[in-house]
Structure 1
Amino acid sequence: MSDLKTHVRALVVGGGAVGTSIAYHLAKAGWDTMLLERDELTSGSTWHAAGLLPLFNMSYATTHIHKYSVDFYKTLEAETGLDAGFYVVGNLRMAQTDDRMDEYMLYSSVAETADVYHEFLSPKEIKDRWPLVRTEDLKGALFHPQDGYINPADVTMAMAKGARQHGATIERRWQVDGYRWTGAEWEVTVTKMVEKGGNLVPSDEQSVIHAEHVVTATGNHAQRTAKLLGIKIPAIVVEHQYIVTEPDPALVEWRNAGNPQHPVLRDADAKWYVREERGGWILGPYERGAPARFEYGVPDSFRADLFPLDLERIEEEYMAMIHRIPTSETVGLKDDFNGPICYTPDGNPLVGPAPGLRNMWLAEGFSFGITAAGGTGHYLAQMMTQGEAEIDMASLDPKRYGSWMTTEYGARKNEEAYEHVFILHHPDEEREACRPLRTAPVYDRQKALGAQFGQVNGWERPNYYGPAGAPEDYDHHARSFRRASWWTFAREEATALRESAGLIDATAFAKHWVTGPGATAFVDWFTTNRLPKVGRINLTYALTETGTTRTEYTVVRLAEQHYYLISAGAWAAYDGDYLRKAAEDFMGRGGGWVSIQDVTTAWGVFALAGPNSRDILKRLIRDPDPATALSNKRFPWLSARDIELGMVPVTAIRVAYTGELGWELHHPIEMQTRLWDQLMQAGEGLGLRLVGARAQNWLRQEKSYRAFGNELGRDATPLEAGLDRFVDLSKEFHGKAAMQEKGLRSMCVTVLIDGPADADPWGKEALFDETGTTRLGRLTSGGYSVAFGKQIGMGYVPVDKAAVGTKLKVRMFRQTYDAVVVEDSPYDPQNARIRQDG
């Protein structure tokens, strides 16, 4: 019998680069940790990975993860005595177009906020340093001199040794066959795997491991993991081919002359990377048509195997390599690989707590697993051992995809994500695969009126309204890193809402009912603000256990023990999971019974706002006294009422995310088209304009309304976000003590910017002092203000730089522009327009 340990604090399942890094960092943090691998370490995608370490990423969280990895790998040899095989040759990302250079300049802002060093090179500078590279058709390049490539097996073994040195146990040839949560720990059934006829098969030897926490880092086997856990994990394998050439005589001559290795070359517009390999080249393309595989699980017979080659599929990329490196034209092929690489629908990994489960953590879907492994282990270990990571990891949370997602959706979106690795990453990008999928009843009406849709948690939501009858691909050609054609439409929509009225489809909002005899006590404990009275509403926050912002809610009190909680549509599963788990915790401590019901798909929402919004509703409302039904006396600001608009029953909430007089109209989803038609008719002659999400985003910044995922997240408290008025310190609530202990590390501010004439900030830019030399913080939102006729943004700066009137600089397109901190809600700071009577 095996001497396998049967009790550990943390069990890591999966022995690739990601799993070994997690085991290393948990063990280093002092946790009793075991790692199980069903085969041999590195036997999954790790063994055939090209080992590139690109720092380039548009995500703030992922940039931090990649930077940590690059820095961490350089320390492993000193700690473990094992050479991790890190070749610090740099990474040269070339650009053939001005649009691509704009992308690099936007990325530069993200990199700057994460202290990632980078340089910009001209075509001449590229040619002078690497004469084998053709440059006459390039605009320039972005260069990271501090990264390069690494041997995946070597770095994995070094991390494994480091994990053992910190006390972790690593066991090979054990397969997990079952998980059972007892209420206090996980009972994990494992089976010893043995070699038989070249295959790996289960033996008769089984054991049960008791673990307080489990982390799955199962790579290609994510679908099997999902079935064992009874959840959905949208991590599905896509084929990735790369080829290795014979030695290139020109390259050999270059190196024999004493020249250093070329950096990893990336011709993003040609969709490939190339690096040196033993005097030749490795070409890795990201081509169209790479298929998803193993949608329902990896066959038992598939071990460290590869797929059949399909070299015709990468012919275009191969010819593009020859164009860029002309000496490679006569070089033969030495080797080729077509292996599985895991993707997710947006290309980012799934890192964090599993939906619906306790102490179960996912680290799945790593398309850049070697690059992300070190940082994922670091930040996930922080989440597990300290409650939260030092950076906001919400953008990588597994619950960013809801239960509506299917295998077909995951497979097709993952193929799209693979194809889009080198597609221009416009901030206004909307990818087309699997759409439309979730649509409100008025979708066709909106589309006929020129709506150009974005996708939020699978829902189609108008971003803006372009010309009626515009071609299907209109929005695709309207994207840019600067002001695209949609900008004019958004400006007109924002102006119309300020001057007359605008109608916004907010059906995608997440919506939950909280009821039961314990509902009031639970919501009071769960959120920061005082509870509203029946018929009133409040804005409030739920905190993490470390006191930072976990969720923003609008709370409507429908009855003494009946609450309607509304939160951001993009975070429906994320919010719902936290809400349900918090209710379970509350009841487990002796609190009264609480019921949580997700009613998102039962209720549609229209937001009607603007100076004429009351007059539009007066034409529809059925009331004994229609003239006063919507007055401040009968329907004050921050109140909710059940009203009838024609034949449609509506729960109307007097609030507006745009800062104008307005109402949210929550209605039965099956009556939505009727209500839409009535509102459109009632708006005739009163200047009603259909308004999309982009104009709304600009307008909410004029009111300094914070947005979750931007200003609000797990790296800042509500007090740091400047939301003191929504935090009632006279009561006890979850996370209060931790929030107070943190104090004020930085502050959220609104800035007006005298920026370039053709562009607005995207909320990724670095903020500097007024001299432009000292970086102070970063923007979290950005856009254009129709009220002030200039750029606007929100972001975080040190407390001593948050005073109104403080002069700052914002970096955009490698230039700095003047900015000034303005008062919160610079547009109508007294809320007179919202409160206007009539």
Structure 2
Amino acid sequence: MTDAQVVIVGGGVMGVSLLYHLVKAGWRDVVLLEKNDLTHGSTWHAAGLCTHFAHNPTIQELRATSVRLYRDILPAQTGQECGFHACGAMRITRNPDRMDEFAHVAGLSAFTGYPLEILTPERVAELHPLAQIEGLLGGIFEPDDGHVDPTLATTAMAQVAVQGGGVIRRYSPVQAIRREAGKWLVETPKETFRACHIVNAAGTWGYEIGRMMGINVPSVPVLHQYLVTDTVPGVAERIVAGAPELPIIRDPEESWYVRQEREGLILGPYEKDAQVWSVDGVPPEFGADLMPPDLDRVEHIIEAAMARIPTLANGGVKSVINGPITFTPDANPLIGPAHGVEDAWLLTGSSMGVMEGGGAGWFLAHWMTHGAPPMDALAVDSRRFGRWADRDFRVAKAVECFGLQFGVHYPHEERPAGRGLRLSPLHDLMIARGAVMGAVHGWERPNWFSDTSGVVADETFRRANWFEPVARECLKVSEAAALSDLSVFSKFEVTGPDTREFLDSLGANRAPAEGRIGLTHALTPAGGVLSEFTVAMVNETFAYLTSAAAAEEIDYDVLRVHAQGFDVDLSNRTDDLAVIGLMGPKARQILETLTEADLQSEFPWLSVREIDVAGVPVRALRVSYVGELGWELHVPRAHAVHLFTALEEAGKPFGVGFYGAYAANAMRLEKGYRAWGSDLTTERTLTESGLGNLVHHAARDFTGGAAMLARQGDKAWDMVLLEVEAGAIDPFYSHPVFQGQRPVGIVTSGAYGPRTGKVLALAYLRDKTVRTGLALRILGQVRKANILDAAPYDPDNVRLKS
């Protein structure tokens, strides 16, 4: 038996990067197990592309960190280059929506400090003289991009890690994993390791190692081909002339990339109909192996690339690489704690392993070392998928993601694969009433309601076909009342004699009084916002907690870990209960026709009661995310349809309507309410988020409290609600905020508010002294913005408390 602090399973670029970064962070007794040799699986045959292009700042930082590591840090540490070619990269397009997307990413990058250049066709020709520009609208240039030798980069990290005390065991396949006496036992043919932590960095084998760990890893190997040409005359001539290496070029519409490889070129196509491979288990003998070429599948893409870069046709095919890469259901890697098990971590599932691997190892090493990620982790958190992400789902989404590798990322994108997994009992009723559904955490939920059956939402960066219907929904809520299916909420019950003590120490706020509702935020050790719970204190030994749909696994882990040492029982009721929202000034009148409960003096704002409505036992919460008088009615699934139809019938004389998630988002912004996952993240504290009123620190000890208070100095950020000059495009997220020519902030969410007639955005200012002369750059358009000192809708909460 060999003791270790950490066992990392997998010797690709991701696992070796983690070994390197843990050793650099001072960890000892870190062991990496590899079933074959380093880089076997996917890393060794990767094309090695490295980019700064990303729609999410965390993904961008993973990629930027990788570039710095391969280009600068590892050569300085080893005295040897990693084969990094700083050639730059560009993306070209003939699609107007793609130009909007490029402008959006360029705006984000202006804030993050990785500026990207929007290109005219003429500038494309200047940067890549071998490309034809006919039909192009333009493009985007990523000057610090390049490509790296995957084997050299991985080997360099391994060399530094071993010199620092890390251990690598090659040809040590993992045969069994089990949990025993608070430790992980990892068996190989030669020895068994007993470790405090285990990390699944197995890549192609990630799903199989996950099964050994007792967890679901929703990743699928997909075959990707690229071809390497012989000498291409146009490239060879440039080399003779002393011209710089050509930048990597991608055509998202035609779905290919091309980069220079010595005197030839590499062409990588992404076909729409992906070919999954070994979904249920990789052959035991597989290592540094490839599949036979299958160029017929991508012939049309090759022809399109040759039309754009004619000299490609002058170089014969030297070799074809056809090997597996892994895809998750959203094409982002799985990084972070494994749900439901102690001291188990994931670092796998990256379809861009070399591109993101250097940064991914840094990211997880920081998380393991400090108890919190260095940046907002939601885009990569391994718990963003639950048990519902079954085999059919992961295969369908992997195929979709591969085919949309170069798809336009719209702000309200709803992709069709893998739908219908989690249905509210009200689902069919919603469809019958015109709901246009979206998906969140496997659930189907109404985004908006249409008067025409079969309507789907426009895919656009501008105002879509749902703009007017959503405005009508908001006005219906403010003028009469409207019903909503809110069943997607995550729902938890806490029972037992220590319920109050448990909740009092859970987060920054105290537990509410019996019969009352409060908002509690659990924090990271660094003081960032980890979870947001609406806490309904039914009685002293029973509390009911709700949170965001996408937070279900994360929040249950938070509760489970915190419950250690308390005499409480936890239960996840998410699938058991339905939730109906009834919101608007006539909500009380409607509800009074169906219940004998006192809804006035005995039911104030922010209170919880268990009452009968239409003969159904209901846990009623007088709370509203939309800024109106209203109730959330929580009921067992079996009673949901009866209750909803009774409310609908009772509401007809009062003009009751329906509202969806898009209307809720617009209305909560009119109130300045922050949303978990977009406005509230692990990066920022409650005080930075403008929620200092929910912090009660005196005589209380809670995780992250001291760290949060310590971050209130000059370097603290400040969230503000902005009124934005109206224009053709409403803000959504990741638009930079400028003061003059200086980027000073970033938008986290935005929308048009129909009740106020204002365009609104929540944004963080990283210089909290900035208060005037602000403007947003929305897809390149400059729009003036002013800070609002109070919510523009019902700032005194008169309507909520009525």
Calculate the TM-score normalised by the size of structure 1.
0.93
1:553 aligns with 2:533: yes
Inter-partner Cα distance in structure 2 for 1:350 and 1:238: 16
Question: How far has the Cα of 1:53 moved from its partner?
Answer: 0.7
Inter-partner Cα distance in structure 1 for 2:341 and 2:111: 34
**Is contact 2:82-2:156 (8 Å) kept?**
yes
Inter-partner Cα distance in structure 1 for 2:364 and 2:689: 24
1:416 aligns with 2:416: no
Q: Which residue of 1 aligns with 2:763?
A: 795
Q: Which residue of 2 aligns with 1:832?
A: 798
Q: Which residue of 2 aligns with 1:42?
A: 39
Inter-partner Cα distance in structure 2 for 1:423 and 1:176: 37
Question: How far has the Cα of 1:330 moved from its partner?
Answer: 4.4
**Is contact 1:457-1:570 (8 Å) kept?**
yes
Q: Which residue of 2 aligns with 1:142?
A: 140
1:325 to 309, 313, 316: 309
Inter-partner Cα distance in structure 2 for 1:108 and 1:190: 48
Question: How far has the Cα of 1:150 moved from its partner?
Answer: 0.9
**Is contact 2:603-2:622 (8 Å) kept?**
yes
1:256 aligns with 2:226: no
Question: How far has the Cα of 1:501 moved from its partner?
Answer: 1.8
1:441 aligns with 2:425: yes
Report the AA paired with residue 26 of structure 2: G
**Cα distance change, pair 280–466 in 1 and its aligned pair in 2 (3 A):** farther
1:597 to 566, 571, 578: 571
Inter-partner Cα distance in structure 1 for 2:173 and 2:710: 43
Describe the SS at the equivalent of 2:253. Answer: helix
Q: Which residue of 2 aligns with 1:382?
A: 366
Q: Deviations over 1:725-758 (max 9, x none)?
A: 2221122223322322333511221111114x21
Q: Which residue of 2 aligns with 1:70?
A: 67
Which stretch shifts more, 206-215 or 18-27?
206-215
1:736 aligns with 2:696: no
Question: How far has the Cα of 1:802 moved from its partner?
Answer: 6.7
**Is contact 2:89-2:145 (8 Å) kept?**
yes
Report the AA paired with residue 424 of structure 1: V
Report the AA paired with residue 74 of structure 1: R
Q: Deviations over 1:13-70 (max 9, x none)?
A: 2111111111111101111122221111111100111111122111221111111111
**Is contact 1:511-1:599 (8 Å) kept?**
yes
Describe the SS at the equivalent of 1:556. Answer: strand
Calculate the TM-score normalised by the size of structure 2.
0.97
Q: Deviations over 1:226-285 (max 9, x none)?
A: 111011010111111111223222232233222222111100111111112232221111
**Is contact 1:622-1:646 (8 Å) kept?**
no
Q: Deviations over 1:114-158 (max 9, x none)?
A: 211211110011123323211121110100011111111111111
1:238 to 222, 232, 237: 222
Question: How far has the Cα of 1:184 moved from its partner?
Answer: 4.4
Inter-partner Cα distance in structure 2 for 1:733 and 1:46: 42
Inter-partner Cα distance in structure 2 for 1:182 and 1:545: 28
* Aligned-residue CA RMSD (Å): 1.7
Describe the SS at the equivalent of 2:464. Answer: coil
Q: Which residue of 1 aligns with 2:780?
A: 814
Inter-partner Cα distance in structure 2 for 1:602 and 1:776: 45
Q: Which residue of 2 aligns with 1:706?
A: 674
Inter-partner Cα distance in structure 1 for 2:620 and 2:38: 58
Within 5 Å, which residues of 2 pair with 1:457-496? 457-471=441-455, 474-475=456-457, 478-496=458-476
1:24 aligns with 2:4: no
Q: Which residue of 2 aligns with 1:115?
A: 113
1:716 aligns with 2:712: no
1:430 to 414, 424, 431: 414
Q: Which residue of 2 aligns with 1:199?
A: none
Inter-partner Cα distance in structure 2 for 1:510 and 1:700: 19
Question: How far has the Cα of 1:674 moved from its partner?
Answer: 1.5
**Is contact 2:128-2:247 (8 Å) kept?**
no
**Is contact 1:395-1:709 (8 Å) kept?**
no
In the TM superposition, structure 1's runs of 4+ consecutive aligned residues that sit over 4 Å from their partners are none
Describe the SS at the equivalent of 1:402. Answer: coil
Question: How far has the Cα of 1:315 moved from its partner?
Answer: 1.8
Report the AA paired with residue 278 of structure 1: R
1:8 aligns with 2:4: yes
Inter-partner Cα distance in structure 2 for 1:239 and 1:793: 42
**Is contact 1:610-1:661 (8 Å) kept?**
yes
1:538 aligns with 2:518: yes
1:51 aligns with 2:38: no
Which stretch shifts more, 260-269 or 611-620?
611-620
Inter-partner Cα distance in structure 1 for 2:444 and 2:607: 29
Which stretch shifts more, 438-447 or 342-351?
438-447
Q: Which residue of 2 aligns with 1:198?
A: none
**Is contact 1:807-1:821 (8 Å) kept?**
no
Question: How far has the Cα of 1:434 moved from its partner?
Answer: 1.7
Structure 2 runs not aligned, ≥5 long: none
1:759 aligns with 2:729: yes
**Cα distance change, pair 488–432 in 1 and its aligned pair in 2 (3 A):** same
**Cα distance change, pair 688–559 in 1 and its aligned pair in 2 (3 A):** same
Inter-partner Cα distance in structure 2 for 1:693 and 1:524: 31
Which stretch shifts more, 318-327 or 385-394?
385-394
Describe the SS at the equivalent of 1:293. Answer: coil
Within 5 Å, which residues of 2 pair with 1:197-208? 206-208=190-192
Structure 1 runs not aligned, ≥5 long: 192-205, 624-628
Q: Which residue of 1 aligns with 2:185?
A: 187
Report the AA paired with residue 501 of structure 1: A
How many pairs are equivalent? 797
Report the AA paired with residue 420 of structure 1: L
1:398 aligns with 2:368: no
Inter-partner Cα distance in structure 2 for 1:554 and 1:306: 51
Identity %: 39
Which stretch shifts more, 710-719 or 653-662?
710-719
2:281 to 266, 272, 297: 297
**Is contact 1:292-1:412 (8 Å) kept?**
no
Inter-partner Cα distance in structure 2 for 1:581 and 1:292: 37
**Is contact 2:183-2:194 (8 Å) kept?**
yes
Q: Which residue of 1 aligns with 2:329?
A: 345
